[in-house]
Amino acid sequence: MTHVPATTKAARRRHDREIVTLAVPAFGALVAEPLFLMADSAIVGHLGTAQLAGLAIASALLLTAVSIFVFLAYATTAAVARKVGAGDLAGAIRQGLDGVWLAVFLGIAVTALTLPTAPALVSLFGASDTAAPYALTYLRVSAVGIPAMLIVLAATGILRGLQNTKTPLYVAIGGFLANAVLNVVLVYGAGLGIAGSAWGTVIAQYGMAAVYGYVVVRGARTHGASLRPDAAGIRASAWAGAPLLVRTLSLRLILMIATAVAARLGDAEVAAHQIILNLWSLLAFGLDAIAIAGQAIIGRYLGANDAEGAKAVCRRMVEWGVVSGVVLGALVVLSRPLYIPLFSSDPAVQTAALPALIVIALAQPICGIVFVLDGVLMGAGDGPYLAGAMLITLVAFVPMALLVPVLGWGLTALWVAMSLMMAVRMLTLWWRSRSGRWIVTGATR
């Protein structure tokens, strides 16, 4: 039996405690958005297959409009964590507030762009005549909540960088419960149908943004950080987030292409795709909880000029990612007979979804490695490489996805292509992590 030095064991235990302390609460906050959509899907799905198909298309568009700006959370986490590692709490909060102001301006702009272009966007996705009206209704109502969603992203990044993932957990739980109750009341009690589901989510999102606003303002006053928008700081936040915007936009394009391909396979297939995509997103955010811990911890170690500590915690998080992927994959296989009927009673939808679930279950260990290394490189501020790697992945995925309807394949083949896409991501991220070029120490990169 190989002897592991006591110091190594102690270091692993310390890293494990750090990862668990940040990752467990982060999981609850990360799954808030997929849980919102899962609640919406469960409620809307029982209105009819056309309504669920409309929700699938609208939610893909909505998540794209919001998720391309996820750098508001990720870049803020890394930058704030570096300042924390260097012992500059006032500077950390000030930098985070620049991200919040950027979120406000971007949210207003995205809403203003989404509302008039909603019909064209729904049409672009190839929605059927029966699903398109529902998709348009949900998208238009939900667009009103985009500013709140972006504020939540930026404020969450501040707290993660401050090594606080518990507050986002509490806010996420409150938001999810409010969303579920409001959906039931507005969809069935008020008889608003799919529009009621969208309004419930909008109200919940603004409630979450208000809570975050209170927490961040209180922290700024405690540490003497100015609340006024700073043009130079906002520009710096935008510049730092630009590579992550490219990276995230490429990923969202992959998901949009997948939904567009599913829409052309038929209403039952796109409805089943929505169910699978919701589960995939939930699993992804679950694995990303370790990555969020990595962003905060890696940023802090690098800010404190501890390169060896950053390397060690990276290795440990990869081990966590693999094990977590195996466990989640097994849970998917075991729960599949119960999961699908929860969202649709249509036999055609259930038949289309079942084999695709097996595919995503088998891919979870790969996903575990991908999300962890993605988080490590984000925590290091290695955005330009992440942007380039994601563009390579997009180029590899497009022909695989477009061949699915051309060759007459079904939804399962589409999710095989999605899994191969994750394998490409894994290879590009593994190569970078092995090179060590991501390790740059100091309060700023």
pLDDT tens per residue, range 307-356 = 888 888 898 989 999 999 999 999 988 887 777 777 777 788 888 888 88
Q: Is the pLDDT of residue 169 over 90?
A: no
- pTM of this prediction? 0.80
Q: What Rg do the C-alpha atoms of the chain give, in angstroms?
A: 21
What pLDDT, in 10s, does the model give residues 7-59? 577 777 887 888 888 888 887 777 666 666 677 777 877 777 778 888 888 88
Angle at 331 between CA 325 and CA 337, to 5 degrees: 140
Torsion sign over Cα 26, 368, 246, 411: negative
What is the mean pLDDT of the segment spanning 241-259? 88
Q: What is the pLDDT of residues 175-203, one digit of tens each?
A: 888 888 998 899 888 888 888 888 988 99
Instruction: Tell me, rounded to whole angstroms, the distance of Cα 11 from its chain centroid.
Output: 30
In percent, how much of the chain has pLDDT > 70? 96
Distance CA 32, CA 53 (A): 21
pLDDT in tens, 385-442: 999 999 999 999 999 999 988 887 888 899 999 999 999 999 999 999 988 899 988 7
**C-beta atoms surrounding 270 within 10 Å:** 31
CA distance 434 to 436: 6
Q: CB-based contacts of 31: which residues, under 8 Å, 6+ apart?
A: 172, 282, 285, 286
Specify whether the CB–CB gap between 357 and 339 falls below 8 A: yes
Q: How far apart are CA 97 and CA 381, in angstroms?
A: 18
Q: Which residue has the tokens 């100091």?
A: 442
CB atoms within 10 A of CB 227: 13
- Amino acid 31: pLDDT: 67
Reported residue count of the chain is 445
Q: Quote the percentage of the chain above a pLDDT of 90.
A: 29
The pLDDT value recorded for residue 4 is: 44
Residue 105 corresponds to which tokens in the numbers above? 């301006």
Q: What is the C-alpha to C-alpha distance for residues 170 and 160, in angstroms, rounded to an integer?
A: 13
Query: Sign of the C-alpha dihedral, residues 241, 243, 249, 251?
Result: negative
